[in-house]
Structure 1
Amino acid sequence: MPTRRAILATPALTLALPAAAQARWQAASGFAEGNFHTRNLRQFIAESGLDIQLHPNGALLPQPQIKRGVQQGQVQLGEILLTAYANEDAVFDMDQVPGMVSSMADARRLMAVRGPAIAERLRRQGMELLWLAPWPFVGIATQAPLPTPEAFRGLRIRAYSAISNRFAALVGAQGVLLPAPEVAQGFAAGIINAQLTTAPVAADTAAWESSRVFTLLNVATSNNAVFCNRRAFEALPAPQQQALRAAAARAAERGWALAAEAHEQAVSRMRERGMQVLEPTPELLAGLREPSRVLTEEWVARAGEDGQRLLAAFRG
């Protein structure tokens, strides 16, 4: 697996363009400066051949406003967590359905299947998809191990999407929708006593201060989308469009290595802080099959014929 130093040392293969010909773009992201997605986005900008100013961590636009900001031309480029926009289109949270994927190879294949559908939806709204970026698998931070599904009962679980909130209910827990910056406060106030999240977010929110165990459920992942305003893209000279596309293709591939690296580093940080990081027991995984089946059926009902076609293509 490439190290961070090796990844960031990749040469920029951009086209040399006269300064006068370069457009000046603004980019908005809801992710922190040190997040691996932001590091990837900064390298993309360095290789893009464009003059792009990045505003991370919601500094210019909070995440719920970024998609509309790009669509309306308030900013030219944005990065969002797709599942946060699932109320607009069920295709945006297909990867969130627990049990849909069980390995990163599955996650790659699912991204390839749904990528064209996401691109088409954004294009209809005046945006151009540049790439999809993966998060590591979701786990759960708790005070005690979860050897069986019964251990979920009575937990007040921090959820981060509609599907994860519904998942909590199906396993007998209470879901509480909270953004990552409010997790510590939620634990302190007793609103939650567990959290569904990825290992990097668990480490970033100092999960060891409120939890002793992180169980790698490996039942769901999620994607970010990086996209630009279509008019701004089409206004670029052809060489700049090509440079942008080439940089985006490299960022798309680099994202997988960065996600794996971020996961490994986060697991190490949690263990160094005294947390147990456990694989799920066979009994726990078996108990999650029925909630996964229910959530898949509910997702297909929301997604309609398009969802049925995507699911058939993925399973086929």
Structure 2
Amino acid sequence: MRLLKCMVGVAVAATLTLPASAQSVRWDMANEYSDKTPHADGDRMFERLVEERSGGEIDITLHFGASLGFRSKDQLDAVAEGAVPLANTLAGPLAGVHPIFQLSGLPFIAQTFDEARALHEAGRATYENVLADHNQTLLWASPWSSTAIWSNGALQSMSDLKGVKVRTYDELGTIALNEMGMLAVQLSWADVVPQLSTGALDAVLTSIEAGNGAQFHELLSHYNAINFGAPVSIVTVNNDALAGLSEQQRQIVFEAAAEVEDYLWSIVDERSAANVQVARDNGVVVIEDFPEDMQAAMRAAGEVATNSWLSRMGENGAKILAAYRAQTGG
């Protein structure tokens, strides 16, 4: 917390508590990931829609690549305290705050993007309640392409996985991959390339788009598309900043957020296919077929992680999964 208070000066351009009659609002928006992701496209779309519809009254400045000094794990507190009024945050690293942030990281539960959205919607009310306790409001959630393992060499059996040092983005990934025989370590995205470059990592669990954006083809030769899951990033706004808007300005913000969310979910299939082709064009070997015994063993490892999540979530977790399965028939 002290660190965040010291960093408030980084985002001094943000105006958090203008009266409802204010005509001009300046917000900064943090994002740990690069400006080449679809989430960055969503941020730019939001910025444009809000500026146009407010007649320039709401001016948002976007900051990518953790340039404000915040990793995803820092951003919940940063928004809560007003160090930055808006943030686009990978949900998984917030699991220490509440297990709901691990929902989209449940291994091998959602196997399509329609299922991934249904899973998020099943837990949305819990997301909103937890965020309200941290002085912020959920604006939208958007999916990453399905996560899988970038590596040097094909991973086609459980023995191929044994002892491989792999980066994960949340606790559930760490549990599942360790169960699969790998040596998993949870790292923020900004720390991944330095660790790869020094040989501290052999492989990375992430999406194909994130790997392409980080030029992984220069460091890793294979993308093993195990369809681990489709994690989401969430965009939240500080409630004091929101209260400083007029009613009309708040409506503009919420309507723009809903449009961005629908757009990002609508393009994820096409974007994922395009990213597979980009990887192949860059010489990456994309592996999409795995032996049935390997798939079964990976699903069993995923169940260990899911059971760990259920033990933390309690009855609410079971209700969320039941609602998801009723919706999808899964």
TM-score by length of 1: 0.88
Matched, 1:297 2:307: yes
Matched, 1:265 2:274: yes
| Other-structure match for 1:13 | none
Q: What runs of 5+ residues in structure 2 fail to find an aligned partner?
A: 1-20
The residue type paired with residue 196 of structure 1 is: L
One of 109, 115, 118 as aligned partner of 2:118: 109
SS of aligned partner of 2:61: strand
Q: Distance in 2 between matches of 1:51 and 1:75?
A: 14
Deviations, residues 145-188 of structure 1 (Å, cap 9, x unaligned): 22222321121112222221222210111113333343333333
Deviations, residues 18-38 of structure 1 (Å, cap 9, x unaligned): x96232222222222222211
Aligned-pair CA distance for 1:212: 2.3
How many residue pairs match? The answer is 298
SS of aligned partner of 2:314: helix
Cα distance change of structure 1 residues 92 and 209 upon mapping to structure 2, 3 Å threshold? same
Which aligned pairs between 1:181-192 and structure 2 lie closer than 5 A?
Answer: 181-192=190-201
Q: Distance in 1 between matches of 2:83 and 2:195?
A: 33
| Other-structure match for 1:288 | 298
Which aligned pairs between 1:1-316 and structure 2 lie closer than 5 A?
Answer: 21-48=23-50, 49=54, 50-63=58-71, 64-281=73-290, 282-316=292-326
Deviations, residues 225-270 of structure 1 (Å, cap 9, x unaligned): 1111112212321111111111001010111244334423322221
Q: Distance in 2 between matches of 1:217 and 1:223?
A: 17
The residue type paired with residue 256 of structure 1 is: W
**Cα pair 1:27 1:75 within 8 Å, conserved:** yes
Cα distance change of structure 1 residues 227 and 185 upon mapping to structure 2, 3 Å threshold? closer
TM-score by length of 2: 0.84
The residue type paired with residue 109 of structure 2 is: M
Aligned-pair CA distance for 1:312: 1.8
Deviations, residues 263-289 of structure 1 (Å, cap 9, x unaligned): 233222211122211213233212212
Q: Distance in 2 between matches of 1:211 and 1:54?
A: 30
**Cα pair 1:115 1:132 within 8 Å, conserved:** no
Q: Distance in 1 between matches of 2:192 and 2:135?
A: 35
Q: Report the aligned-residue RMSD.
A: 1.9
Aligned-pair CA distance for 1:115: 1.4
**Cα pair 1:199 1:263 within 8 Å, conserved:** yes
How many percent of aligned residue pairs carry the same amino acid?
24
Deviates more, 1:145-154 or 1:163-172: 145-154
The residue type paired with residue 58 of structure 1 is: A
Q: Distance in 1 between matches of 2:107 and 2:189?
A: 20
SS of aligned partner of 1:300: helix
Q: Distance in 2 between matches of 1:135 and 1:224?
A: 8
**Cα pair 1:127 1:227 within 8 Å, conserved:** yes
SS of aligned partner of 1:215: strand
Q: What runs of 5+ residues in structure 1 fail to find an aligned partner?
A: 1-18
The residue type paired with residue 255 of structure 1 is: L
Q: Distance in 1 between matches of 2:166 and 2:64?
A: 28
**Cα pair 2:151 2:203 within 8 Å, conserved:** yes
**Cα pair 1:180 1:205 within 8 Å, conserved:** no
Deviates more, 1:168-177 or 1:20-29: 20-29
**Cα pair 2:176 2:304 within 8 Å, conserved:** no
The residue type paired with residue 123 of structure 1 is: A
Deviates more, 1:215-224 or 1:138-147: 138-147
Cα distance change of structure 1 residues 157 and 47 upon mapping to structure 2, 3 Å threshold? same
Aligned-pair CA distance for 1:93: 0.6
Q: Distance in 2 between matches of 1:192 and 1:85?
A: 23
| Other-structure match for 2:8 | none
